[in-house]
Each structure stands twice: as structure tokens, then as C-alpha cells.
Amino acid sequence: MAEVSVNGVRLEVSLQLVDKAKPGDYVLVHTGYALQILSDEDVTLANKFMEHESPNST
Amino acid sequence: MLITYMEMENSYKITLNHGSGGKMMHELIDSVFLNSFSNGKMIQQTDSAIIKNASTHHAFTTDSFVVDPIFFPGGDIGKLAVCGTVNDLAVSGAIPEYLSCGFILEEGLELGELLIIVHSMAATARVAGVTIVTGDTKVVPKEKCDKLFINTSGIGRVSDENLELGTGNLVEVGDVVILNGGIAEHGMAILCEREGINFHSGIESDCAPLNHLIHEILSNDHGITFMRDATRGGVATVLCELSKSRKLGVEIWENEISIRENVASACEILGFDPLYVANEGKFISVVKAGKAGQVLEKMKAHELGREAKIIGKVVDNNPGLVVLETSIGGKRVIEPLAGEQLPRIC
Amino acid sequence: MNHPIPPEAGNSMTKMLTTQTYRDKKKIGEILEMIRKRSSKKIRLMEVCGGHTMAIHKFGIPGLLPKNVILKSGPGCPVCVSDQKFIDRAIAIARKEDVILTTFGDLIRVPGSTSSLEKERAKGCDIRIVYSSLDALKIARQNPEKRVVFLGIGFETTAPTSAATILKASKSKIDNFCLLSAHKIMPPAMEALAFDGIRIDGFIGPGHVSTITGSGIYQILADNHGIGCVISGFEPVDILQSILMLINQKEQGEPKVEIEYSRAVKPKGNEKAQRIMEEVFYLSDDCWRGFGDIPMSGLKIRKKYARWDAEKVLHVTVEKTRYKKGCICGEVLKGKKSPTECRLFKSACTPATPIGACMVSSEGACHAHYLYGNGKLL
């Protein structure tokens, strides 16, 4: 079990479904379980997306 | 046509939905209570009945308090019982003066707990400046009630110019809607304490007597056309009732409605819409646009109104509907709450 | 549920993932502008996750899109697709003397053939709302003299959590806990829709289901049915970005599987969760409300864990299923009809007195239409 904080609300979640979660990780939480450790991948995706698709470049 | 509950099959049972402040509660009130007690005062369904006399007018109200747990962050059932009735009087434009209290105690209740609650009632009454003048106590066998239930009734004086404040009759297109602070704190504080929900949210109930703040803004020529406290059913329910009864449109702006981060977060985790969650220290006031600045200034000067904001306005399009402009600029209709909100899973 | 968890202060790992980033009005304006520029053709998109249905309505997204972009709700709400037989069985179990029935909140109001869990609770059955199956397990531990039954509903998102809880019950030898499984998997229903000849140009793919399953399961839809799929997150920027990606696919005539929600969804998904799910459950035919039987779409508990399978350990007589007349939930779930086309909508059927399951769950299409008045202003 681990404690996660969602904007100030703290709750206990089980880490049984994820590998190698460590303090400081962002996790996706669903019905008392962490389902995934989140990456910052799509911040870059979003930015890339905006660059490629921005109205100026078309 | 409304089918009265009397005509329904005998097996029809009261469910928790009937107490949720939504549509089902209104149907119950209409078909059972108003049907039986029918009179001009009650039919108005305002927070307090206004009793007019030649010399002085009185506002009279009653409320029962059942809350689980009886102690919660930011208050307890006793504080709630005083605030609830004081606030019902205050938003009706009255100056609350006297309260009664009735207790139903469950056999086995700890005397210590009762003492804490009664002291809390006394302290809150002092802060509100009201006197508890009469009371009653009954004890019922174990499991016939949940620890204790409290009923309070209250009476206050209303001046001539404030007689209509609770009815909505004065509201006109162009008036603005003011809210005195962050929403959904009471409801979420209670919910987070319930068995089965293991959160540590740090959320405190906003339970507080609003009569001093309201007294401040009800100065001469105040421009206020309507007030109601946003208890069960939340801000959404107050505005829906107003727009429906007056057949006016109400527009509100999500970005202007304050909500603490942890409250928003708890709502999101459980799938609750904070607009429908109960408050015990928040009220909606509708004010003539020209007087809004003045009312807002007075509110902000008071501890319980520091975060007051204009959250919307009364409009002539979409009569009878409350329309929310969402944080991203979309629009949606706010419908009256139908039943208790349920925690969802996905 | 979708919660990017911010790190504690002083431990700022990245600049990432605040909700604000995904609700940024300026960015949303830019994406909407591109959607308007890019979409020339009529395009019908379906979301198959209740969380998306909620978010789309809550943020008022339909009104922001150009008229040629049409959003439909599919069978994404686990409560809504649970067959009435399942509710009837749950009610029969709740009526047993020594049972504490535990459930997610949104199931409690779903009408069965003649009653609902809410009505049974009013009559005195011990029915408790929990937030997690782990809470149900805790109740079992605290009430050793009772049998604690948990109603397992949900797709690949929730099924692994139920599986993990069963494993925990098994490991901790909590034998008075059991689970009634109505767990389902999503791809067969999506394919059933495609076979049904429903006109959809693309799926807004279920973000949380895909977190577990990965993206490969949707390839068959693109390859065999020409329906693209963009797996989406749940914030407005996510959803609009996914819509834009699906529009691009349509305009280019290239249906494919893409991941927008890459902060949570990896192509292979969460393999550990998949393993746990497979350890406990096996695939079986299952009945979906509105669809009927869909082959190999349900998850049943393996023999090895029969001790925690409510179907095996509790013997109840379930009343004969009586389906409600006039309710078109089935058509709504398939995206064939809109809730407003139902003659019961808002008259006999409301969230407090629901007739169909789509009105019960806040993720149901009818409930979302009711609560958020979709269409009224458009």
C-alpha cells in the first residue's frame, strides 16, 4: 500500500498492479489501485502536435 | 399531473432520495405535506414563513438535523443545528432572535458527547447573538435513531422593506448573482468522514452563522432582490428553483465560482458535481447591478464573505433555465438535482 | 478516474501534468480552430468510455465543435451495459440473511425486474457503498460471521483491481469474501457495433481500458472495418486533440490506431495487471444490455478461485427477468438513437426514478443528457 495525494486529498492505494513505483511518481488511480505510473510523454506529444499542426505551418 | 403518494401502492417506501433536496423531496413535500397542511404561508415554500402584523413582522422557521457522523471537521451536529436555523431566518431578511431546540437521543449515547454538542450549540448561539429559550428531550430505544437528532425552530424580526427577500418576487433581468465563497465544503467534509471512504482530505465544513454578514449588507437601499442559503442540493438547486419559479434565465460562469483545490479534488475522485453539494455557510444573493459593487465590498470586509464574487447574472434568454459557461468556454444547462448523488467508479 | 498526482512540494520531478495544462483556454481555442480548418466532411465519432461521456458533457464540448463533427456515446458505462439478470441476482443475494452486499455507488439505483438495490436497502438489506473492492475486503475482515459479497462490474480498467483483491483474499485466507463478476472486456462490443453496420468513422478510444490492455486490441477495427481509433485522455485538451487526430485520419482516408493519452497508455499496456487478470479470470460469453449475448466478452472467475466466486458459493433463486417496455437503452448504447428520442426520457425516466440503466450512472448517456441538458442550447 502507498499513500497518494490528489491536489491535497490523500488516499491509500494498492501498488499491486504496477511495477517499481517510487515516491514522487505520478500514478493513475482507479478504485483504490494504482493502474499505471504516468510519464510526461504526451506533454511533449502535445507540444509536438501543436508545432506540426499549428495553423501557421499549414 | 402529479400522482400523490397516497394514491401509490401501499408498498411504496421512503428512500434516502426523498431527503436529498432534489426532485423527489419536492414531490414528497408537495403531495404529502402541502396537500395536508395546505395554507397560504406554507405554500410559498420559502426558508421562513413571514408573519405580518400591524406593528412588527416575524419570520418563523424550523429545521431538523440528522448527520452522520455527528462530529466532523469544522463542526458538529449542534453547531449545524444553530447555524441552519439562524441562516434560514437571515436569508429571509430577518434578524434572528430566539431559537427552540428539540432532542431525540438514542439509548446508550455517551453523556460526554451530548455535553460537547450542547456546549457547541451554546457557543454558536452566542456568536450568532440568538437566545435558545425553550427545548424538549426524548429518548428512544437503541437503534431507533442514530445517536441523536436535533430539531431547532427560530423566530426573528423582519422590517417592511425586506419582507419579500426570500421569495424571489423582486428579481429582474439584469440583476447579478453573488456567492460569498468556496462551494461544496460541508458536503464533502461529511462525505470524506463516512465509513467506507478512506480519504484524508483536510476538508472542513463551512458551517457558520451568516446573520451578521447579512445584517451588514442589508443596510438602507441595499439593492438586494433575493437571498437563499445553498444547503442541500447546493448552489445549483437554489438557482434552478429561482429561475423556474420566476421564469427567468440565469447565467453563471464556472471560472468565477470558487472552490478549494482539495474540495474540487475530492469531488472529482468520487464523481460528484460540486454545484450540487451542500454548503452550510454559503448563500446566494441576487442584487441590482448598480448596487453590486457596494454589496460585494461589504461582504469582502466580513470574515465569511472575503472570497465573495459575482458568479453570474439574470438574463432574459433561456427563461426557466440555468446555463453554465464552463471553464473552457462551453455551455451546459444546469438541471435540478433528481436524487442523492452517487459515487461513480470510472 | 484520471488523476495526475502532483509530487509533494520540493520534489518537483517535471513541469508536467497539471490539470491546468489540459484545460488551458488558449490551447483549446487553437485546437478548435484547427478542427474547423481541417474538417471538411461529416464525421461521426463514438466514445466508448463513460468517463469520456461525462467529461464531454461536463465541459460543454459538443457546443464548441463545428456542426459536421458528431459525437455519439457507445457502450462505455459499465453500469449501463450490465444486464438486468445481474441486478436481479444481486438483489436475490442481498436478501439473504447473513449477507453484506457491497457495491460501487452507481449500481444501487439500477432497476432490476421488480426492485433495485436502493429499494432493498430501504427494506432493511445490508447494502453498503464502497469506493474500492479493498474496502469490501476490509468489511469482510471486520465481519467474520457475515458473508461479504462485492459486485464486480467494469471493463479491463476495473477487472484487474477485482482480480488483485481476490488474490489478496486468497493470500490472507479471507474466506467470507466473494465476488459476483459481471466484468467485461471492451473489444468484442466495439466489434459487435462494427458488425452491426453502425456508421462510425472513428472511436475515441477508452483511455483507462487501454492503460491496462495497450493499443493493439483496436487494430482489428482499423484493419477489418476501416474504423480508426485514437486512445484519449479525459481532459478537454485530450479529447479535442483526439477528435482532431480522428479528423486527420478521415480527411487523409487512413484509419489507424493512435495514442493521444501517451502519459498513461503504452502500446503494450500494463502487462503485470494483464497477468493478474488472467490468473483470476477466464473469458466467457456474456450478456450485454442492449446487445444481448456477445461471444467471449465476459470475465468469469477460474475454478482455482471458486471459493471467492459468488456464483459458486451462494445459491439463490433469481426471479424471472422482466424487461421494461418502451426503454430504448439498447439502441442508445449502440449509438443508434439519442436519449432524447426515447419517449420515457425525462417523463417517466429520470435519475431519481430511472427505468433504463443509462439514466442511472452519471456516466450513462441518458443521465449526462438529463443533467447537462445536452442539445437544448445548440
Task: Give residue-wise pLDDT tens across range B271-301.
Answer: 899 999 999 999 999 999 999 999 999 999 9
Match 447591478 to its residue by C-alpha cell. Answer: B289
Q: Are B182 and B259 in contact (CB under 8 A)?
A: yes
Q: Are strands B148-158 and B57-65 parallel, antiparallel or unpaired?
A: antiparallel
Cα distance from C319 to chain A (closest Cα, Å)? 31
Chain B interface includes A9 (CB < 8 A)? yes
CA–CA separation, C247 vs C36, rounded Å?
A: 10
CA–CA dist B168, B335 (Å, integer): 19
| pLDDT score recorded for residue C238 | 94
Whether the per-residue pLDDT at C375 is higher than 50: the answer is: no
Sign of CA dihedral B288, B290, B293, B294: negative
Residue C131 to residue B196, Cβ atoms within 8 A: yes
pLDDT confidence bin for C373, thresholds 50/70/90: low
Q: Can you tell me the distance from the alpha carbon of C270 to that of C281, in angstroms, rounded to the nearest whole number?
A: 16
Residues of chain C with pLDDT > 90, as a percent, come to 66
Q: If you search the block for the grid coordinates 462505455, which residue do you land on?
A: C76
For residue B60, the model assigns a pLDDT of 96
| pLDDT(C168) > 90 | yes
Do A5 and C262 count as a contact with CB atoms less than 8 A apart? no
Q: Give A34's strand partners.
A: A29
Which range among B124-133, B143-152, C363-372 shows the weakest confidence by mean pLDDT? C363-372
C89-139: per-residue pLDDT in tens? 999 999 999 999 999 988 998 889 999 999 999 999 999 999 899 999 999
Mutant choice from A5, A6, A9 vs B, greatest count of B C-beta within 10 A: A9
pLDDT bracket for residue C225 (50, 70, 90):
very high
Distance, in Å, from the CA atom of C153 to the CA atom of C171, rounded to the nearest integer, reads: 22
**Segment B215-239 mean pLDDT:** 95
CATH number, domain at A44? 2.30.30.140
Chain A, nearest residue to B202 by Cα:
A9
B243 pLDDT higher than 90: yes
Q: Give the model's pLDDT for residue B315.
A: 97
* Strand pairing class (C281-288; C292-301): antiparallel
* Tens digit of each residue's pLDDT (9 = 90 or more) over C309-345: 999 999 999 999 888 788 888 888 888 888 888 999 9
What residues 10-39 of chain A have any CB closer than 8 A to a CB of chain C?
A: 14, 16-19, 23-33, 35-36, 38-39
Instruction: Please tell me the distance in Å from A23's CA to the nearest CA on chain C.
Output: 8
Phi, psi values for residue B331, rounded to 5°: -125, 145
All structural domains of chain C, each given as residue ranges with its CATH number in brackets, are: 24-378 (3.40.50.11740)
pLDDT at B154 over 60: yes
In three-state secondary structure terms, B108 is coil
The pLDDT value recorded for residue C37 is 93
Mean pLDDT for all residues in chain C: 89
Q: Report yes or no: C34 and C192 within 8 Å, Cβ to Cβ.
A: no
pLDDT (0 to 100) of residue A58: 29
C171 lies within 8 A of chain A by CB:
no
Cα C153 to Cα C107: distance, rounded to the nearest angstrom: 9
Cell of B46: 420559502
Q: Which of C186, C161, C165, C179 is nearest to C286 (CA)?
A: C186
Strand, helix or coil for residue C54:
helix
Q: Which residues of C162-193 are buried (b: 16+ CB within 10 A; e: fewer)?
A: bbbbbbbbbeeebebbbbbbbbbbbbbbbbbb
B344 → closest Cβ in C49, C61, C361 = C361
Looking at the complex, report in whole angstroms how far the Cα of residue B264 sits from the nearest Cα belonging to chain C. 12
Could you tell me how far CA B135 lies from the centroid of its own chain? 23
Beta-carbon separation of C105 and B331 below 8 A: no
Which subunits sit against A, judged by 3+ Cβ pairs under 8 A?
B, C
Q: Quick check: C130 and B196 CB within 8 A?
A: yes
Give CA angle at B204 (B199, B205), nearest 5°: 120
Q: Is B135 exposed, middle or buried (0-12, 13-18, 19+ CB in 10 A)?
A: middle
Q: Is A54 on the interface with C (CB under 8 A)?
A: yes
Nearest to A6 among B203, B265, B345 (CB): B265
Distances (CA, A) of C266 to A39, C22, C48, C123: 10, 20, 19, 47
Q: Could you tell me the strand order of the sheet in which B249-253 lies? A: B224-229, B283-287, B176-179, B309-315, B249-253, B322-325, B331-334
C351 touches A: beta carbon within 8 Å = no
Q: Worst-scoring range by mean pLDDT, C9-13, C118-122, C225-229, C274-278? A: C9-13
What's the pLDDT at B56? Answer: 86
Mean pLDDT over B340-346 rounds to 68
Least reliable range by pLDDT among B42-46, B124-128, B326-330: B42-46
ipTM: 0.87
The predicted pLDDT at position B345 comes to 60
Residue C245 has pLDDT above 50, yes or no: yes
Interchain pair C131, B197: CB under 8 A: yes
Is the model more confident about C84 or about B82? B82
For the segment B218-238, the average pLDDT, to the nearest whole number, is 94
Q: What is the arrangement of strands in the sheet containing C99-103, beginning at the earlier edge strand?
A: C127-129, C99-103, C147-152, C177-181
- The cell for B316 is 432574459
At residue B286, the pLDDT reads 98
Domain ranges of chain B: 1-45, 50-162, 176-334
pLDDT tens-digit series, residues A1-58: 888 888 888 888 999 999 888 898 889 999 999 999 988 765 444 444 444 443 333 2
Residue B119 confidence (pLDDT) above 70: yes
pLDDT of A44: 44
Residue with cell 465563497: B181
Strands B331-334 and B322-325: antiparallel
The CATH code belonging to domain B176-334 is 3.90.650.10
Q: How confident is the model at residue B51 (pLDDT cuts 50, 70, 90)?
A: confident
pLDDT at B10 over 70: no
| Contact assignment for A40 to C2 by CB distance below 8 Å | no
CATH 3.30.1330.10 matches B50-162? yes
Residue-number span of the structural domain to which A10 is assigned:
2-57
Distance, CA of C206 to chain centre: 9
* DSSP string over B204-242: -------HHHHHHH--TT--EEEEEE--TTHHHHHHHHH
Beta-carbon separation of A9 and B198 below 8 A: no
- Those residues whose C-beta lies under 8 Å from the C-beta of residue C219, and which sit 6 or more positions away, are C257
